[in-house]
Structure 1
Amino acid sequence: MDDKAVKSEIAESWNEEAAYYDTHVSHGIQTEEERLLWMNAFQTVLPPGDSLSILDVGCGTGAMGLILAEMGHAVTGIDLSEGMMGIGRKKAETAHLPMTFQSGDAEDPPFAENTFDVVINRHLLWTLPHPDTALANWYQVLKPEGVVVVIDGVWDDGSVISAVRRRTSSVFARILEPHPHGEKGYSTKVCDALPNRGGVPEAEARRYMENTGFVGISILNLDHIRVNQRQRLKWYQKINPISPYYLMAGRKEICP
């Protein structure tokens, strides 16, 4: 399956989820408390500056980008899914926040070198066919001393116990919810094209960053955000295993 077909199916899958994506805990920001937790997390890793130029790659409905726009930054979001961005544009308009959404491939952002102070993404690396290429291109569009921020985790550790728990939770979700998350999912061929389809362990994310040339790599554990989100999960959603969840940041060095 070639890259064009893989990305077309990925875009269509998210288009189908767009209308109810934000209703799922851990996707949409559903409380003021969670919003403030994300703001605090960003403040620990963003470079100095009151109005940074930020690129949100794989921005979806703008959950992260709109928080950053509210913090006073100039945010551009790109995504393959027009459906997801359509929801994001409505949210930005309703909140009067100046986040721009445009069609673009997260693995190859359509911008010149040294354009952005920050490149950020959430829950994206697992769904990229070429994460190493993506990191290299994010490095290029960052300004010297710019920061990349990756928010990710491990959704499937491959164990039998985890598989049983996820399957059990999914059965109840399909019975009790009109639109359970991941109802359609990716085809086997697309899954086979994704090296991190079960999520991205910290060590693997660090390897991508180090191989690209990022320095000063830091990791912020996001268990506190998971705990906050877990308060809003339905009983059958709590059957799912608790996954590692982190924010990793790295800096682009100034050329000697």
Structure 2
Amino acid sequence: MDQKQKLIKNWTDDSNNYSNKIKMELNSFKKQAWTDIILENTGKNTKMNILDVGTGPGFFSIIMSQAGHQVTAIDCTEAMINEAKENAENAGITADFRVSDGQALEFDDESFDLIISRNVTWTLIDASKAYREWKRVLKPDGKIIIFDANWNLKLFDEEIMKKYEEDEKEYKKLFGEEPPSHTGADMIDYRKSMPMCQRRRPQWDFNTLIELGYKKIYCDINIGDRIYNEKEKVIYRSSPMFMLVIEK
């Protein structure tokens, strides 16, 4: 399979699993935590037209719709969009859900006040192309907020792998259970094949965004204290989640 086929297969196969995860998030402190951290960084108090890139099972689309904004949500797999539509219906919200490529957007120039994504940019086959497209559809005073981490750099860096294995041991010791894992052969093959997985981020993003002409970039290199539960703070310690807030 080529990279795109691996991408679609991976997220199609895992769509129900991720849907179950966001259902738990919607019934936890995370719903308000994520709402707060997004809205704090938009710089706007009015209703926004938001593009949720890589919506997955629809978590960001749901919480932003519930906060009173108009949301268009895209994902590369029909399975994820189907999960998102069902979750949105159960949450009592409406959004425009579409199967679409985040690297080749079907929207007019300057369509959105805000573009958001979570754990998506590491999956991009051509991130430079995607960031160029996101700039095109962003309004002049709009922002992009990216949440991601170096989830897979341990597959390419022995020192990071050692730290991750230490975190796994501490997790077992503290919580008396096996940590969550993504170690299936197909999963590892997929992750090793994605170009963003071996790039050191967010430094790579900074350099690329500057080259593309973005004017302002703010970064928080670790937002875990705000959005992780106690177990996640341990197991994700060696790959902290960063936030990029980008102005056109």
- Contact 2:104–2:130 at 8 Å: present in 1 too? yes
TM-score by length of 2: 0.82
The answer for the alignment partner of 1:211 in structure 2 is: 211
- Structure 1: tracts of 5 or more residues without a match: 170-174
Residues 193, 242 of structure 1: CA spacing in aligned structure 2 closer, same or farther, 3 A cutoff?
Answer: closer
Matched, 1:109 2:105: yes
- Matched to 2:68, the amino acid is G
TM-score by length of 1: 0.80
For each residue in 1:113-150, what CA deviation from the matched residue of structure 2 results, as whole angstroms up to 9, or x when unmatched?
Answer: 11111111111111111111100010001111111111
- Contact 2:52–2:72 at 8 Å: present in 1 too? yes
Measured after TM superposition, the shift of residue 76 of structure 1 is 0.7
The answer for the alignment partner of 2:41 in structure 1 is: 45
- Contact 1:47–1:146 at 8 Å: present in 2 too? no
- Contact 1:202–1:246 at 8 Å: present in 2 too? yes
- Contact 1:52–1:118 at 8 Å: present in 2 too? yes
- Contact 1:65–1:77 at 8 Å: present in 2 too? yes
Aligned counterparts of 2:181 and 2:141: Cα–Cα separation in 1: 41
The answer for the alignment partner of 1:17 in structure 2 is: 14
Aligned counterparts of 1:242 and 1:32: Cα–Cα separation in 2: 24
The answer for the alignment partner of 2:76 in structure 1 is: 80
Measured after TM superposition, the shift of residue 109 of structure 1 is 1.3
The 5 Å alignment of 1:212-231 reads 212-220=212-220, 221-226=222-227, 229-231=228-230
Q: Cα RMSD between the aligned structures? A: 3.0
Aligned counterparts of 1:16 and 1:122: Cα–Cα separation in 2: 19
Residues 185, 205 of structure 1: CA spacing in aligned structure 2 closer, same or farther, 3 A cutoff?
Answer: farther
Higher RCO (C-alpha 8 Å, min separation 6):
1
Equivalent of 2:85, from 85, 89, 101?
A: 89
The sequence identity of aligned pairs, in percent, is: 22
The answer for the alignment partner of 2:201 in structure 1 is: 201
Greater alpha carbon shift after TM alignment, 12-21 vs 206-215: 206-215
Residues 240, 247 of structure 1: CA spacing in aligned structure 2 closer, same or farther, 3 A cutoff?
Answer: closer
- Contact 2:52–2:117 at 8 Å: present in 1 too? yes
- Structure 2: tracts of 5 or more residues without a match: 171-176
Aligned counterparts of 1:124 and 1:43: Cα–Cα separation in 2: 19
Matched, 1:7 2:4: yes
The answer for the alignment partner of 1:126 in structure 2 is: 122
